[in-house]
Amino acid sequence: MAHRYYTVSWDQLHRDSKALAWRLIEKGPWTGIVAITRGGLIPAAIVARELDCRLIESVSVITYEEETRREPRVAKLPAAAGDGSGWLVVDDLVDTGTTLKVVRSLLPKAHFATVYAKPAGNPLVDTFITEVSQDTWILFPWDTEPQFVAPIARSAQPK
């Protein structure tokens, strides 16, 4: 399956993460936030600031090597979060839901929030901001550098 690419700038990520905090403020108060590493670290920091939450934990689930999906492996547990009661779990994106399934098994009572969601993973997240198509590969600002990109029309013309 060919990927479509959607580039997210630092400014857009900040605005979208702040919008996520707006949606989450009425669902709190939160005991703490668990960031799913690595992609959830920056959105979690923005959400934590906006919600004035200072207790931050992380969980590391490795599911990708570059753009290739692999069997999920938990590399770090969120020890302070217990069963997740009162905790908010934040990630940048839910794709197929593989990572969220693993983390939900660790923190079954937590509230799960992502900035972006794809249709296959959407039912596994409690709160998100923007839905993108399943074949879209989001290029986050920490993965990209500014460079020239050809107009969409050039790649959309039949060959």
pLDDT at 65: 65
Q: Encoding tokens for residue 64?
A: 């990708």
E strand or H helix that includes residue 41: helix 41-50
pLDDT at 26: 94
pLDDT in tens, 147-158: 787 888 887 666
CA–CA dist 40, 4 (Å, integer): 22
- List 95, 126, 135, 143, catalytic entry: 95
Residue 158 lies in a domain: no
1 or 30: which leads in pLDDT: 30
E strand or H helix that includes residue 16: helix 10-25
Residue 114 lies in a domain: yes
SS (H, E, C) 43-111: HHHHHHHHCCCCCEEEEEEEEEECCEEEEEEEEECCHHHCCCCCEEEEEEEECCCHHHHHHHHHCCCCE
pLDDT in tens, 37-94: 999 999 999 999 999 999 999 999 988 665 666 788 888 889 899 999 999 999 999 9
Query: pTM value?
Result: 0.86
54 sits in the region (left: phi over 0; alpha: psi -120 to 50; else beta) called alpha
Tell me the pLDDT of the chain averaged across its residues: 91
- List 16, 91, 126, 143, catalytic entry: 91
CA–CA dist 45, 51 (Å, integer): 10
Domain tally, the chain: 1
Residue 156 lies in a domain: no
Check pLDDT > 90 for residue 20: yes
Binding residues: 38-39, 70, 91-99, 137-138
Q: Which CATH number is 20's domain given?
A: 3.40.50.2020
Binding residues for 5-phospho-alpha-D-ribose 1-diphosphate: 38-39, 70, 91-99
Structural domain harbouring 58? 4-145
Residue 157 lies in a domain: no
**92 assigned to active site:** yes
Binding residues for guanine: 95, 138
Residue 159 lies in a domain: no
